[in-house]
């Protein structure tokens, strides 16, 4: 993610959300449909389960973000871990719907909104705290998606950042203007 200087917390947060969304999608694009649903063990989550959970969380947290509790009564969190959508296409559609809620809510905010109070599971948060909470939550799960995809692809994996053992070569390319920071 190329750093662009900003003093806007909202703008910076949007960039982070876009970055993690793209990171997970680049990992997803490297795995087969079968691998999306594969479990490492009986207690593990598949890529599909993680994505389904994230989509449910995003819809709940960001729908009517400023006016309703982030844990909506219509959400069934437990079900998100039990039965993900049966196809990649349906899963990606839910994923996109979730992210649309995130980006729609964030783009409607101004810096004046940052000290407003919102609730998540009845607990008060400043808007800034709520955004930080979700950046941490989504980056954690995007990391899980990347880890699982990398595990399933092992030798065929195409690095999403600086490949192992290539830091010096990459740094030289950055200095020469031939590459940008991941």
Phi, psi of 76 (to 5 degrees): -120, 85
How much is the pLDDT for 5?
Answer: 67
In CATH, what number does 9-175 get? Answer: 1.20.120.450
Residues 6+ apart with CB under 8 A from 139: 16, 20
d(CA 51, CA 138) in angstroms, rounded, equals: 10
How much is the pLDDT for 7?
Answer: 77
d(CA 85, CA 92) in angstroms, rounded, equals: 9
How much is the pLDDT for 166?
Answer: 65
d(CA 35, CA 44) in angstroms, rounded, equals: 13
DSSP 70: S
For the segment 63-73, what is each residue's pLDDT rounded down to a tens digit? 999 999 999 99
Helix ranges (H only) for 77-180 are 77-80, 88-107, 127-153, 167-175
How much is the pLDDT for 164?
Answer: 74
Portion of the chain with pLDDT greater than 70, in percent: 87
For the segment 93-131, what is each residue's pLDDT rounded down to a tens digit? 999 999 999 999 999 999 999 999 999 999 999 999 999
Phi, psi of 181 (to 5 degrees): -65, 140
- The structural domains of the chain, with segments of one domain joined by +, span 9-175
């Amino acid at each position: 993610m190329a750093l662009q200087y900003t003093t806007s917390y909202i703008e910076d947060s949007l960039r982070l959300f876009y970055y993690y969304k793209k990171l997970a999608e680049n990992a997803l694009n490297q795995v087969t449909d079968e691998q999306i649903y594969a479990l490492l063990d009986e207690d593990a989550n598949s890529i599909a389960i993680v994505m389904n959970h994230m989509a449910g969380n995003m819809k709940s947290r960001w729908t009517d973000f400023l006016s309703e509790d982030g844990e909506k009564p219509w959400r069934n969190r437990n079900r998100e871990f039990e039965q993900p959508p049966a196809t990649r296409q349906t899963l990606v559609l839910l994923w996109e719907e979730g992210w649309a809620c995130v980006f729609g809510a964030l783009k409607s905010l101004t810096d004046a909104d940052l000290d407003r109070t919102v609730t998540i599971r009845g607990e008060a948060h400043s808007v800034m705290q709520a955004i930080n909470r979700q950046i941490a939550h989504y980056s954690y799960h995007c990391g899980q998606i990347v880890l699982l995809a990398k595990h399933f692809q092992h030798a065929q994996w195409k690095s999403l950042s600086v490949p192992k053992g290539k830091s010096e070569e990459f740094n030289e390319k950055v200095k020469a203007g031939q590459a940008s920071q991941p």
